């Protein structure tokens, strides 16, 4: 969830849905050479707060660099380390990372095993259901388990499928039936009701939500607040980002992204239209466009 689940967002969403969220995770952190330092990973993690367990997600293809970074992540305070084998972004695939590793199950298993052996906290993995097809899904899931991961998150789409394509939850069910470790369902959850529906249809014990939480920060609890409350939430988000060292340009960019997601999901009606709000040159102008 690069560009979405920043430190300010994670804490605010948990406060918005008290007792409904069991775990939070950072945006993915790219690992190349050298391994990331404890100080850098502390910055990514941010200050831990009561309630959920806190994870750091790492992405790369060098098992040694990932293993050392995972050990540093634990020292930085992460309660668990998640390995990203699901990102379908072209720039990630070009570097043979993310979902590119779904085409090399033995290589993926080797990476997970190296990280598990090095890391003193639980290691989990996140995958898509496959690259061009889902024929290797069970094999991939079983390799994740054999490598020592304590949980597996399965996004029901293939690497080649877009977020606008339907998400096949039966693929999540297949993974649930293929392994004994917990399988976390992901993808196609757009409403609060979808959470329980995914659990019921797939047998997964937990659900991971990313982009839909930006569209509707109340999706976990199912609350449907008034428009004024949604705008106040956006103001709190802006303030948190600035207090957390984001510069005004960065904060405005992420704030506009949140407005766009909310508007496109019809969680926020904009009298002057989305394009008008997105042209706002400052935070103050943006909120004035929402009034």
CA distance 124 to 110: 14
Check whether the bond before 276 is cis (ω within 30° of 0).
Answer: no
Contact, 112 vs 149, CB < 8 A? yes
CA distance 106 to 130: 14
Q: Could you tell me which of 173, 131, 180 has the C-alpha nearest to residue 151? A: 180
Segments of 111-264 assigned E as strands: 123-128, 151-155, 183-186, 206-208
Could you write out the DSSP letters of every residue in 129-178? Answer: S-SS-STTHHHHHHHHHHTT-SEEEEESS-TTS-TTSPP-HHHHHHHHHH
Residue pair 108/68 in contact (Cβ under 8 Å)? The answer is no
For the chain, the farthest-separated pair of C-alpha atoms sits apart, in whole angstroms, at 55
- Separation of alpha carbons 28 and 159, rounded Å: 17
- For β-strands 53-59 and 23-25, DSSP reports them as parallel
Give how far Cα 151 sits from Cα of 73, 101, 103, Å: 18, 18, 20
Catalytic residue among 25, 87, 119, 204: 87
What letters, b where the CB count within 10 A reaches 16 and e where it falls short, cover 24-56? bbbbbbbbeeebbebeebbebbbeeeebbebbb
3-state secondary structure of 128: strand
Segment holding 85, helix H or strand E: strand 80-85
Is residue 119 part of the annotated active site? The answer reads no
**Among all residues, which ones are annotated catalytic?**
87
């Amino acid at each position: 969830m690069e560009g979405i689940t920043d430190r300010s967002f994670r804490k605010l969403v948990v406060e918005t849905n008290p007792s409904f969220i069991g775990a939070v995770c950072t945006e993915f952190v790219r690992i190349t050479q050298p391994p990331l330092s404890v100080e850098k990973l502390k910055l990514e993690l941010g200050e831990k707060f009561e309630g959920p367990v806190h994870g750091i997600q790492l992405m790369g293809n060098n098992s040694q660099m990932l293993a050392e970074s995972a050990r540093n992540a634990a020292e930085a305070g992460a309660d668990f380390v998640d390995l990203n084998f699901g990102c379908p972004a072209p720039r990630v695939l070009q570097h043979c990372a993310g979902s590119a590793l779904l085409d090399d199950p033995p290589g993926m298993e080797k990476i997970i095993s190296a990280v598990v052996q090095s890391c003193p906290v639980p290691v989990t993995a996140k995958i898509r259901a496959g690259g061009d097809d889902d024929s290797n899904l069970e094999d991939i899931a079983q390799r994740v388990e054999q490598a020592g991961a304590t949980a597996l998150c399965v996004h029901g789409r293939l690497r080649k499928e877009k977020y606008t394509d339907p998400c096949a939850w039966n693929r999540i069910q297949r993974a649930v039936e293929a392994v004994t470790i917990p399988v976390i369902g992901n993808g196609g959850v757009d409403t609060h009701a979808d959470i329980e529906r995914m659990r019921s249809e797939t047998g997964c014990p937990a659900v991971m939500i990313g982009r839909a939480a930006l569209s509707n920060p109340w999706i976990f609890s199912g609350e449907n607040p008034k428009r004024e409350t949604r705008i106040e939430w956006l103001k709190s988000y802006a303030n948190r980002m600035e207090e957390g060292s984001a510069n005004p340009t960065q904060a405005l960019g992420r704030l506009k992204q949140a407005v766009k997601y909310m508007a496109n999901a019809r969680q926020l009606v904009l009298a002057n239209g989305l394009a008008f709000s997105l042209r706002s040159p400052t935070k103050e102008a943006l909120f004035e466009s929402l009034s």
